[in-house]
Amino acid sequence: MVEPRHTFGPFVLDVGCGLLQRSGKSVAIGQRGLALLQVLLEADGGVVSKAVLMERGWPDTIVEEGNLTVQIAALRKSLGPSPDGREWIATVPRVGYRLVRPIDGSANVALSVTPALAVLPFANLSGVAEQDYFSEGVVDDIITALSRFKSFAVMARNSSFVFNDRAVDVRRVANELGVRYVLEGSVRGCLKKN
């Protein structure tokens, strides 16, 4: 069986040889770094959970999450900045990491043919904490309905709900989740008194 070769930007990861090259020159990263980079590349721009990364980087071993943070930092340093000045590896808060593909018109285009959409948790404008379930239910229903369309992909609820209860910049959210579109909104409910 031929081991896959992954390309992104000026990099080529040859899994069979355990070698990462930038513009034909070897880039020194350890075995764990290679394993983590391979998982991120296999996700094709999608978010990879910390649990999956830790299992692939440290199979059958119990380690602290801080080890993953150290390895990701080392990978970022080895890869350097992408052509647009961003990090190659983006952090998705409380979820994991994803590999950012460059958008420069080259053969390695970051945005897939199918655009992606994230539906953020809706703000509860009623001011009644007991109505939070209603706004979450509305968002769940929207995600379910949109996921039936084949013309675009919808991020899972778990990915977009990490931004619950905090003010966010939608451009930053789109970048962190790797989506082209972000839907945000609000719900105003009312309680009837008997």
Q: Where are the domains of the chain?
A: 5-99, 116-187
Determine which helix (DSSP H) or strand (DSSP E) holds 71, and give its type and residue range. helix 65-79
Task: Return the structure tokens found at 25.
Answer: 């020159």
Q: Residue 40: what pLDDT? A: 92
Q: Residue 102: what pLDDT? A: 59
Q: pTM value?
A: 0.52
Find out whether 174 and 116 touch, Cβ atoms under 8 Å: no
Task: Give me the CATH topology for the region 5-99.
Answer: Arc Repressor Mutant, subunit A (1.10.10)
Q: How far apart are CA 87 and CA 46, in angstroms?
A: 15
Residue 82 has pLDDT above 70, yes or no: yes
**What confidence tier does 191 reach under pLDDT thresholds 50, 70, 90?**
low
* 88 vs 94, residue with greater confidence: 88
Residue 4 has pLDDT above 80, yes or no: no
Residue 87 has pLDDT above 80, yes or no: yes
Burial of 168 (0-12, 13-18, 19+ CB in 10 A): middle
Residue 1 has pLDDT above 80, yes or no: no
Q: Give the model confidence (pLDDT) of 7-58 as tens digits.
A: 888 888 887 777 888 887 888 888 888 899 999 988 888 888 888 999 988 9
**What confidence tier does 111 reach under pLDDT thresholds 50, 70, 90?**
very low
Q: Between the CA of residue 117 and those of 9, 67, 108, 155, what are the distances in Å? A: 24, 32, 21, 6
Question: How far apart are the two ends of the chain, measured CA to CA in Å?
Answer: 70
* 179 vs 111, residue with greater confidence: 179
Residue 107 has pLDDT above 50, yes or no: no
Q: Give the model confidence (pLDDT) of 133-179 as tens digits.
A: 888 888 889 988 888 887 777 887 877 787 877 777 888 888 777 77
Find out whether 39 and 82 touch, Cβ atoms under 8 Å: no
